[in-house]
């Protein structure tokens, strides 16, 4: 059965309505220019596990494991996420592959400049990182927005993409059930700035629980690791910029059937953010694809059900390209 918001506790529905009321009320009491977002600098220990490289004057955070292995996998996170979303896969995959995970500009511990955030920007950032590491081509793995970046890179520079692993990928804007309520609300002028001032660990927990099928799997360390980057200077501005960008929902559909790169499509059967019907459509349109749907799993299978995702990825990678 498809997971439904009707199963969410009543108190969560009340919180959403209350947040909406606050946002609407703010429009009558303030202008956008006066709604400055309160942010703090991060504790540098959070980023002690990786490294930085400079691209176009901005610092990109990344981790690099298994550097002595021949093939490279580059991991690309989704909207509002970071390298942390790959925590269950990085170490086991690095036993046989070089595994590079990147924080896209505006997210995680990368810089959050005042720029136009687009899928093309992110694709160029990932390729610049691979150039920095002297990696000519790699297996691209992306979740949600990261899946869209993977597809775009496969269309624009297919010679850089050996294989694709698409996890609940944002491939079809017309097929989505839509963003969670608070994300849709935050995309509105002024309201997003207002709501950003009320970012809290509890709100982050609510978003994570909405992305999962089994809410009990959302642990306190997960909440804190998602919450910390949002409090960095520019973090809320970057998120709002992307939410309001036409490119965030841009259409790649016409180009997908032309992609000849092998692909593994993984999907949570209970994804309420991007429906499983998108998985079957993507499989039908990608001529060299395999599809696996995980039961009892939501929008981020690599986090919620790594015990299912990891062996599926390992088996696929061990097979012929």
For 110-162, write each residue's pLDDT tens digit. 999 988 888 999 999 999 999 999 999 999 999 999 999 999 999 999 999 99
What is the model's pLDDT at position 174? 55
For residue 82, give the CATH number of its domain: 3.40.50.1820
Is 40 within the bounds of a domain?
A: no
In the chain, the number of structural domains is 1
In a domain, 221, yes or no: yes
Is 97 contained in some domain? Answer: yes
Pairing state between β 72-76 and 138-143: parallel
Q: How much is the pLDDT for 62?
A: 95
Average pLDDT score over the chain = 81
Answer yes or no: is 23 within a domain.
no
In a domain, 26, yes or no: no
Handedness of CA 195, 197, 199, 200 (dihedral sign): negative
Residue 239 confidence class, pLDDT cut points 50, 70, 90: confident
Write out the H or E segment, with its range, that includes residue 55.
Answer: strand 51-55
Query: Whole-model pTM?
Result: 0.81
The whole domain housing 148 covers 7-16+50-318
> Above 80 in pLDDT, residue 83?
yes
The residue count of the chain comes to 321
In a domain, 250, yes or no: yes
From CA 129, how far away is CA 109, in angstroms rounded? 15
- Quick check: is 44 in a domain? no
Residue 79 lies in a domain: yes
């Amino acid at each position: 059965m498809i997971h439904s918001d009707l199963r969410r506790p009543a108190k969560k529905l009340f919180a959403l309505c209350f947040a909406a009321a606050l946002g609407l009320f703010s429009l009558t009491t303030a202008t956008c220019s006066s709604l400055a977002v309160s942010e703090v600098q991060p504790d540098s220990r959070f980023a002690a596990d990786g490294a930085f490289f400079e691209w176009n004057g901005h610092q990109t955070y990344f981790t690099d494991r298994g550097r002595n292995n021949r093939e490279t996998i580059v991991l690309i996170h989704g909207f509002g996420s970071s390298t942390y979303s790959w925590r269950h896969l990085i170490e086991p995959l690095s036993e046989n592959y070089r595994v590079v995970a990147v924080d896209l500009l505006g997210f995680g511990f990368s810089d959050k400049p005042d720029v136009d955030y687009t899928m093309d920007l992110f694709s160029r950032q990932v390729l610049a990182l691979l150039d920095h590491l002297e990696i000519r081509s790699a297996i691209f793995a992306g979740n949600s927005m990261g899946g869209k970046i993977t597809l775009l890179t496969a269309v624009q520079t297919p010679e850089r993409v050996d294989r694709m692993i698409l996890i609940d990928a944002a491939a079809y804007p017309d097929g989505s059930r839509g963003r969670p309520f608070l994300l849709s609300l935050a995309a509105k002028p002024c309201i997003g700035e207002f709501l950003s001032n009320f970012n809290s660990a509890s709100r982050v927990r609510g978003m994570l629980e909405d992305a999962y099928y089994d809410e009990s799997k959302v642990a306190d360390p997960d909440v804190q690791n998602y919450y910390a980057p949002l409090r960095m200077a520019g973090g809320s501005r970057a998120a709002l910029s992307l939410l309001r960008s036409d490119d965030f929902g841009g259409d790649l559909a016409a180009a997908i059937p032309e992609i000849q790169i092998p692909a593994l499509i993984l999907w949570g059967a209970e994804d309420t953010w991007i429906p499983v019907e998108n998985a079957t459509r993507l499989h039908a349109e990608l001529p060299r694809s395999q599809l696996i749907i995980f039961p009892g799993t939501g929008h981020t299978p690599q986090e919620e059900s790594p015990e299912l995702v990891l062996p599926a990825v390992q088996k696929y990678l061990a097979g012929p390209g």
